[in-house]
Structure 1
């Protein structure tokens, strides 16, 4: 806690982080305002004690008040600059994402047409057919990334649309496991599923919950060591449905636990282990689950793996 407090006082590093000059940086300006306000209190006290002339006291107090108002205007401008940069960033991501989604969807459709042809292996050499499969997988990853970026923008702007209905989480989990089966097979990971066969429904958006499960289970598989295992549990617990996914992978350093659900944040151990990814999956998963009145948390230790939990209220 003490080190976090000291880190908060390192306003120069924080200003550089946001590419702001000192007189545009709210952290520095708030510090200056605090110093000036304290100095003004003492100065006013001593001036009022030392001088009987009310004019001197009024002028000194007015001068300090003017300084505080000036610094306040700098703070407002600094905050406005950060807000404008954030708006521009969001607009840029939105435009780029929409521009990319069109061509990527077209590629996907064309690949599906080729796959539906009778015996596509006979029309293409074996090596060419392998390349085609690789292109399809890469395209699917890009489409998922673009979809995630757009979903993050909708969540941040409060425009996320949810089509909630009574949903069987067991069926959604089954679909996700089928989609991730090949990934687990490549890494020779044993996926153990312990799911209650008589789960009560939850009132959620099935597509959004599929994204949550896909992110959590996908991460567990991707960051697990080869020839290890991933254990998934889905069961009712006290009027709620509890989902958990445990891996025996790289784990998360304790000092990064409080940042794990931040947007675009990636764990240092995970970056070394796997360079792909942009750090949106967990941010999206928690945002979606929170919107359904649920909760997400985790337990982790470096070198021993992680367990992520999702708790959702059952449908009324």
Structure 2
């Protein structure tokens, strides 16, 4: 895969428009095929219990390599140059490539979820805590999701209480928590609704709340919402896509970090998912 990617990257600069379109098409086709593998992997995980850890490790390793190669290809391409060379009236190549890059990032997240599930079940999800600003991290992750929010006709806003102190936790793991919660809030939020992220200090903790005005969670489903592979009836009706592992991973990360997590929700009115992490005293 790496050799093929290197060839395409070298060929891209100064390439004819037809070749550029081919590059985009091949990258998209590669992601499509890998996507099917990932979905079937989750289905097999949900239905099988024997040798699950070994299966997840093998599948994650096999999937990560081609996804990383595609990401390297996307990063190597000059999106702005693509539109200048290509006939804009027929196809905007940079737009295609940006879409491929977005889908690639989603699949990398799915692979990371596979690995995290395996580590959680084997009790080897180790954290590397350090002091950092949750405020800065929230703003950074929110900025990453602005384009997704706009495409969903949602308004994503961050509200920070004055003097929110630093916390002591694994920054990369907390980033994963934020991505899962924000993604859910936008994905299952009502069209043209708002998604608010609030940060405040509460009794030795910093509390982060992600609030949406979306489909909410029916009362009968709320007791199962953090269970692995569980998807609420509301989510199933609203969207067929989803693995049901995000909140399971989020809960484990927060609790391993010495924090707390919870939610409030009402069907057809929205949800608030919140977590608290200890202040670094």
TM bucket (normalised to shorter chain) is 0.7 to 0.9
Match of 2:279 in 1: 314
In the TM superposition, what is the alpha-carbon distance from 1:133 to its structure 2 partner? 2.0
Match of 2:265 in 1: 300
CA–CA distance in structure 1, aligned partners of residues 75 and 86 of structure 2:
15
From the superposition, tell whether residues 280 and 125 of structure 1 become closer, same or farther in structure 2 (CA, over 3 Å). Answer: farther
Q: Aligned ranges for residues 35-46 of structure 1 at < 5 Å?
A: none
Match of 2:110 in 1: 145
User: What 5-or-longer segments of structure 2 have no aligned partner?
Assistant: 1-47
Match of 1:202 in 2: 167
From the superposition, tell whether residues 315 and 268 of structure 1 become closer, same or farther in structure 2 (CA, over 3 Å). Answer: same
* 3-state SS, counterpart of residue 264 of structure 1: coil
Q: Aligned ranges for residues 1-316 of structure 1 at < 5 Å?
A: 86-115=49-78, 119-126=81-88, 127=91, 128-316=93-281
Q: Name the structure with the higher helix share.
A: 1
- TM-score, scaled relative to structure 1: 0.70
CA–CA distance in structure 1, aligned partners of residues 50 and 65 of structure 2:
23
In the TM superposition, what is the alpha-carbon distance from 1:115 to its structure 2 partner? 2.9
Find the structure with the greater CA-based Rg: 1
* 3-state SS, counterpart of residue 125 of structure 2: coil
CA contact (8 A) 2:131 2:169 kept: yes
Q: Aligned pair count? A: 231
CA–CA distance in structure 2, aligned partners of residues 134 and 302 of structure 1:
32
Dislocated runs of 4+, deviation >3 Å: 123-126
In the TM superposition, what is the alpha-carbon distance from 1:238 to its structure 2 partner? 1.4
In the TM superposition, what is the alpha-carbon distance from 1:138 to its structure 2 partner? 1.3
* 3-state SS, counterpart of residue 188 of structure 1: coil
* 3-state SS, counterpart of residue 86 of structure 1: coil
Structure with the bigger RCO (C-alpha within 8 Å, sep 6+) is: 2
Per-residue Cα deviation, 1:165-208 (whole angstroms, up to 9, x for no partner) = 01110011011101100011112212232112421111101000
- TM-score, scaled relative to structure 2: 0.78
* 3-state SS, counterpart of residue 119 of structure 1: helix
User: What 5-or-longer segments of structure 1 have no aligned partner?
Assistant: 1-84
RMSD: 1.5
CA–CA distance in structure 1, aligned partners of residues 165 and 143 of structure 2:
22
